[in-house]
């Protein structure tokens, strides 16, 4: 059974304080690891897809990396508008996504 | 662009009532999905469709039914609502899985359902 664990469950940062979110996964036949951002009262919004170990992708203050067992979402010099829940979702060989519970990020000004 | 549109945004049902959650997309996507999101839990797949006339069960299909008569619409039917179906429901669509960035999901804004 595909499994995914995100840590920490919640993270509170000061504006400008860099940190990382973790996504550990066990998936049969990984075909892609997806990161989504979810704002309160809204649906998730796509951020990145990573396909192979060693791959990195960047968008503004966010950088996602992938190993064979984990993915990290690095947040550099965050701003209050980066506050959201970040969801990790590995996709297996069955072409379905398994979503983690998410990390609630709060960035204080 | 409207993207994925869900209605209603909020609904309160009594135990045993039935209702249909509406979902429509204007991106000509083949794949459509219904997820539920409970507090502190990950999104769980209820049903999905790979095209008009084709649907299949996800992880948590019990108590729900779907149909896909057109590419654009994918309604979710709740029969005999139960308190365990209290949740936020998200509809999503994608071009196709396993096709590079075309497999990313586009989500609607959700329907918050309470069964009392």
User: Which one, of A58, A85, A2, A46, lies nearest residue B95 by Cα?
Assistant: A46
Q: Are B111 and B46 in contact (CB under 8 A)?
A: no
Instruction: Give B-chain residues touching A98 at CB under 8 angstroms.
Output: 42
In chain A, which residues have their Cβ closer than 8 Å to the Cβ of B106?
Answer: 46
Q: B residues 45-74 near A, CB within 8 Å? A: 45, 48, 58
Whether B98 has a pLDDT exceeding 70, the answer reads: no
Which residues, numbered 52 to 81 in chain A, qualify as contacts with chain B under a Cβ-Cβ cut-off of 8 Å?
A: none
Average pLDDT over residues B81-91: 97
Q: Percentage of residues in chain B with pLDDT exceeding 90?
A: 85
Residue B107: name the closest of B25, B28, B39 by CA.
B25
For residues A11-23, one letter each, b for 16 or more C-beta atoms within 10 angstroms of the residue's C-beta and e for the rest, the string is bebeeeeeeebeb
Domains in chain B, start-ordered, CATH in brackets? 4-115 (2.60.40.10)
pLDDT band at B87 (very low <50, low <70, confident <90, very high): very high
Helix then strand count (H, E) for chain A reads 0, 10
Average pLDDT value for residue range A24-52: 93
Tally DSSP H helices, then E strands, for chain B: 0, 11
**Quick one: pLDDT band at residue B100, thresholds 50, 70, 90?**
low
Q: Give the largest CA-CA distance in chain B.
A: 43
The answer to whether residues B15 and B113 touch, using CB atoms and an 8 Å cutoff, is no
The number of residues in chain B equals 116
- A95's tokens: 């072409």
Q: How far is B77 from chain A (nearest CA, A)?
A: 20
B36, A51, A58, B32 alpha-carbon torsion, rounded to 10°: -30
Q: Are strands B10-13 and B111-115 parallel, antiparallel or unpaired?
A: parallel
Across the interface, whether the CB atoms of A46 and B45 are under 8 A apart is answered no
Q: Return mean pLDDT, chain B.
A: 94
State whether residue B28 sits within 8 Å of chain A by CB: no
CA distance A85 to chain B (A): 11
Position with higher pLDDT, B101 vs B97: B97
Nearest CA in chain B to A40: B109
Closest-CA distance, B44 to chain A, in angstroms, reads: 7
Across B24-48, average pLDDT? 94
Domains and CATH numbers, chain A: 3-94+104-108 (2.60.40.10)
Q: Do B43 and A45 touch (CB under 8 A)?
A: no
């Amino acid at each position: 059974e595909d499994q995914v664990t995100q840590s920490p469950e919640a993270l509170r940062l000061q504006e400008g304080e860099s940190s990382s979110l973790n996504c550990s996964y066990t998936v049969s036949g990984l075909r892609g690891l997806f990161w989504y951002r979810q704002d309160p009262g809204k649906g998730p919004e796509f951020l990145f897809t990573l396909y192979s170990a060693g791959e990195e992708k960047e968008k503004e203050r966010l950088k996602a990396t992938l190993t064979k067992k984990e993915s990290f979402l690095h947040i550099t010099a965050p701003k209050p508008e980066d506050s959201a829940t970040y969801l990790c979702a590995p996709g297996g060989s069955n072409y379905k996504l398994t979503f983690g519970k998410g990390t609630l990020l709060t960035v204080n000004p | 662009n409207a993207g994925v549109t869900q209605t209603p945004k909020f609904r309160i049902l009594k135990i045993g009532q039935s209702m249909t959650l509406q979902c429509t997309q204007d991106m000509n996507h083949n794949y459509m999905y219904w997820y539920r999101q409970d507090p502190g839990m990950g999104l769980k797949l209820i049903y999905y469709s790979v095209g008009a006339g084709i649907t299949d069960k996800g992880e948590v299909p019990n108590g729900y039914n779907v149909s896909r008569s057109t590419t654009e619409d994918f309604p979710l039917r709740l029969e005999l609502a139960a308190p365990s179906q209290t949740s936020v429901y998200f509809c999503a669509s994608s071009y196709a899985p396993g096709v590079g960035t075309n497999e990313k999901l586009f989500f609607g804004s959700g329907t918050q359902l309470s069964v009392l």
